[in-house]
Amino acid sequence: METESEPYVRLATLRQLHQVVAELNTARSLADTLQTVVDGIVRGLGYELACVNLVRPDGDLVVAAFAGDPAAEALITGRVGSRPAWERRLTMGEDWDGLRFIPHTEGWVLMEDDVPQWHTDGPDPRFRDEWHPEDRLYAPMYATGGELLGVISVDRPRNGRRPGAWGREALQMYAFQAAIAISNARLRANMQRALVRLEREQQALRASEESFRQAFEYAPSGMAIAEMGGDQHGRLLRTNDALCRLLGRPASVLRRYSFSDLVHPEDIGTLLRTSAEGGRAELRLGRRDGTYVWVSLRNSVVADAADGPRFLLTHVEDIEERKRHELQLAHRASHDSLTGLPNSAELRSRLGARLCRRPQSVRAGAVEALDAAYEGRPEAGGAGEHGFPPEGQHHGQYHAYDDGGFPAAPAPGQAADAFDFPGAFPGSPDGPYDHHVHTVAPATDVDDGTKGLAVLFCDLDGFKSINDRFGHHTGDAVLIEVARRLTTGVRDGDTVARLGGDEFVVLADGLGAADAADLAVRLRNAIIPPIRVDGRAVRVGASFGIGWASCGMSADEVLRSADQRMYIEKRSRSKAHRRAG
């Protein structure tokens, strides 16, 4: 550097320093900023060589920029020096007001460390301030918080001398401005990376939203988005074309409804239980024409990390065909394939549903005891309204009765008030509080007005001869027509079932003894008229036995009783008379 006593030299240096500092702030990237730093040192501060060692995220320093010698630049640019080695260098030598000068007399110990370095051999200095090729001068750069950003290393001053006070101050000022420029460049680089990352995320989000929109809109099965929580919970916000077609309603109309408005009344409970994530249900939704379609609903919650669940995404699949097939299979399992009537298993199921295990009858002396047991016992402290025990009284305290209907002695170890009829406890299927209406049998010898469940056992007369003479085809046609006539002759709530072969059973509730006898006559008269099959007329008769279902009996016992009465009635009539009806 020029002789510092000359003021014009300082002014020229300041002008050059101002120019190179201004250029620091025009660089567009971190790499450009680093290269501008070293170029400014060579051009404006009077050094032939300069490099910037930049601190990496792991703490080590890398040679990030070099100026002054292409050969040296190619040799050491990109090489890394460890942080401990650099910390050692920054504590050696002489402290020049923030700069660190290590003369060649001390620097020889650094020849073997891992800090990248390049130097040339030269003669020993001839005078005190002469620069030696192995002298080292470093200008550390610090961030605002005192964090080390990097180190500027300079070599070979053009005037061949160690910098004086003015040269040191200029290098120190330049290092301070370079640290600001590098910090700003890093900030700009981080901002640019953040902007690029944000733009990529937004592009990915837009692509994801578009993918979801297309998957939602063009899904082959119904899709819907509904609100969760608040006054509008369950209201449909968006539906796809497949759901609109399935329900026969446009999207603008569906937005006025929720699934609870569209579900079949019998399925509302199922829907309410299926509003959680992962919930599934099979239920019926109403169409615009008033019909219902079976669908499978699968729900998932669209959640927000901050606000929690926000929307309910529902997949609606049309399962009408599958349900129809299931119903057909269930119908085939419970109905006769020839006549379409309920089969023997279905008949026993329907009959058993009306029966409980309460005894069919009790003797007159036990009627009051049963009333007290089932409807409350005033002598035991009174009963509550509707015959229930008052609050605090145990519901399981009843009297027990023997097979004849009289009070039975308690079993060893059993409380005397324990009522031991099976199914007689509250909450059991046959308990007194489950709304079960007990079935009783009216008297058969005199019509006292009692109504009961009549079981008419029908056996066709003359059917076997028709089957043997004209074949099974004609026999099947006769059975189908008999089934039709029986079904036509009963009320809507009655059951006509085919027990097997040429045997049929009719269940008719709410009949007295005279009513059941009249019904048997009407059905026999409906069967008697000729049946035309393939151009020929055939006739069959029918024998009826009337039994009565009563609680305390099993379904098989009821059918056996009616069957026995039918055979009694059949044997009481001559064969010709049976054939004539």
For residue 343, tell me if it sits in a domain: no
Under the banding of pLDDT at 50, 70 and 90, the label for residue 527 is very high
Reported as half-sphere exposure (CB side, CA atoms, 13 A), residue 294 has a value of 10
Residues in CB range of 356: below 8 A, 6 or more apart: 423, 429, 430, 436, 438, 551, 552
Same domain, 381 and 470: no
State whether residue 502 is helix, strand or coil. Answer: coil
The answer on pLDDT for 273 being more than 70 is yes
Whether residue 42 contacts residue 48, with contact meaning beta carbons closer than 8 Å, is answered with yes
Give the global pTM.
0.47
Kindly state the DSSP code that residue 448 receives in the 8-state scheme: -
Same domain, 463 and 554: yes
Whether residue 309 contacts residue 228, with contact meaning beta carbons closer than 8 Å, is answered with yes
Q: Taking Cα atoms as reference points, which of 63, 10, 65, 75 lies closest to residue 42?
A: 65
| Alpha-helical regions (H) of 218-319 | 241-247, 251-254, 259-262, 268-272
pLDDT of res. 302: 75
For the chain, percent helix, then strand, then coil, each to nearest 5? 40, 25, 35
CATH of the domain at 39: 3.30.450.40
Report the range out of 271-280, 353-362, 432-441, 499-508 with the highest average pLDDT: 499-508
Same domain, 56 and 104: yes
End-to-end CA separation in angstroms for the chain: 142
**pLDDT (average), residues 135-159:** 91
Residue 3 tokens read as 């002789």
Same domain, 45 and 121: yes
For 83-107, what is the HEC assignment?
HHHHHHHCCCCEEECCEEEECHHHH
Nearest-Å Rg of the Cα atoms of the chain is: 52
C-alpha 331: how far from its chain's center? 33
Report the range out of 25-29, 128-132, 320-324, 420-424 with the highest average pLDDT: 320-324
How far apart CA 398 and CA 374 sit, in angstroms, is 8
Task: Please give the residue range of the domain that contains residue 54.
Answer: 7-189
Under the banding of pLDDT at 50, 70 and 90, the label for residue 304 is low
Same domain, 147 and 41: yes
Residues in CB range of 359: below 8 A, 6 or more apart: 401, 403, 405, 421, 551, 552
How far apart CA 546 and CA 459 sit, in angstroms, is 12
Q: Taking Cα atoms as reference points, which of 303, 47, 44, 26 lies closest to residue 159?
A: 47
In the chain, what percentage of residues exceed pLDDT 90? Answer: 40
The answer on pLDDT for 497 being more than 80 is yes
Report the range out of 314-318, 378-382, 385-389, 480-484 with the highest average pLDDT: 480-484
State whether residue 358 is helix, strand or coil. Answer: coil
Whether residue 458 contacts residue 544, with contact meaning beta carbons closer than 8 Å, is answered with yes
Query: Residues 399, 404, 410, 414: is their CA dihedral positive or negative?
Result: negative
How far apart CA 543 and CA 527 sit, in angstroms, is 10
Same domain, 27 and 98: yes
pLDDT tens, residue by residue, 533-559: 988 999 999 999 999 998 888 999 999
The domain boundary residue, chosen from 319, 335, 369: 319
Residue 169 tokens read as 């101050």
pLDDT of res. 406: 36
For residue 428, tell me if it sits in a domain: no
For residue 332, tell me if it sits in a domain: no
CATH of the domain at 232: 3.30.450.20
How far apart CA 249 and CA 242 sit, in angstroms, is 10
For residue 145, tell me if it sits in a domain: yes
pLDDT of res. 274: 75
Backbone angle region of 52, left / alpha / beta, with phi > 0 → left and psi within -120 to 50 → alpha: beta
- Average pLDDT of the chain is 80
Q: Taking Cα atoms as reference points, which of 318, 281, 310 lies closest to residue 298?
A: 281
Largest CA distance in the chain: 156
For residue 555, tell me if it sits in a domain: yes
Residue 546 tokens read as 């009337």
pLDDT of res. 27: 75
Q: Taking Cα atoms as reference points, which of 381, 404, 407 lies closest to residue 394?
A: 381
Select the more confidently predicted residue: 562 or 374: 562
DSSP E strand stretches across 128-231: 136-142, 148-157, 222-227
pLDDT tens, residue by residue, 11-22: 666 777 777 777
Same domain, 231 and 111: no
Catalogue the long-range contacts made by 87-93 (C-beta closer than 8 Å, 24 or more residues apart).
88/113, 89/115, 89/136, 89/138, 90/138, 90/140, 90/151, 93/136
Same domain, 111 and 245: no
**pLDDT (average), residues 293-302:** 87
How far apart CA 364 and CA 399 sit, in angstroms, is 16
Residues present in the chain in total: 581
**CB count in 10 Å sphere of residue 133:** 12
How far apart CA 94 and CA 154 sit, in angstroms, is 15
The domain boundary residue, chosen from 270, 299, 319: 319
Same domain, 114 and 14: yes
Whether residue 151 contacts residue 53, with contact meaning beta carbons closer than 8 Å, is answered with yes
Select the more confidently predicted residue: 136 or 379: 136
Indicate the range of 116-130, 364-378, 515-529 predicted with least confidence: 364-378
CATH of the domain at 521: 3.30.70.270
How far apart CA 513 and CA 388 sit, in angstroms, is 34
Indicate the range of 277-286, 307-316, 439-448, 450-459 predicted with least confidence: 439-448
For residue 2, tell me if it sits in a domain: no
Under the banding of pLDDT at 50, 70 and 90, the label for residue 24 is confident
Same domain, 279 and 383: no
Residues in CB range of 81: below 8 A, 6 or more apart: 53, 60, 61, 62, 63, 113, 114, 115, 116
Query: Residues 193, 196, 200, 201: is their CA dihedral positive or negative?
Result: positive
C-alpha 116: how far from its chain's center? 60
Q: Taking Cα atoms as reference points, which of 396, 394, 401, 344 lies closest to residue 369?
A: 401
Same domain, 183 and 51: yes
For residue 1, tell me if it sits in a domain: no
Q: Taking Cα atoms as reference points, which of 413, 380, 412 lies closest to residue 396?
A: 380
Residue 561 tokens read as 């009783």
**pLDDT (average), residues 42-68:** 92
For residue 435, tell me if it sits in a domain: no
pLDDT of res. 124: 76
Residue 318 tokens read as 């049309």
Same domain, 388 and 462: no
pLDDT of res. 133: 86
How far apart CA 308 and CA 277 sit, in angstroms, is 13
State whether residue 199 is helix, strand or coil. Answer: helix
**CB count in 10 Å sphere of residue 346:** 18
The domain boundary residue, chosen from 261, 296, 319: 319
Q: Count of domains in the chain? A: 4
* Burial label, 75 (beta-carbon count in 10 A; 0-12, 13-18, 19+): middle
**pLDDT (average), residues 455-463:** 94
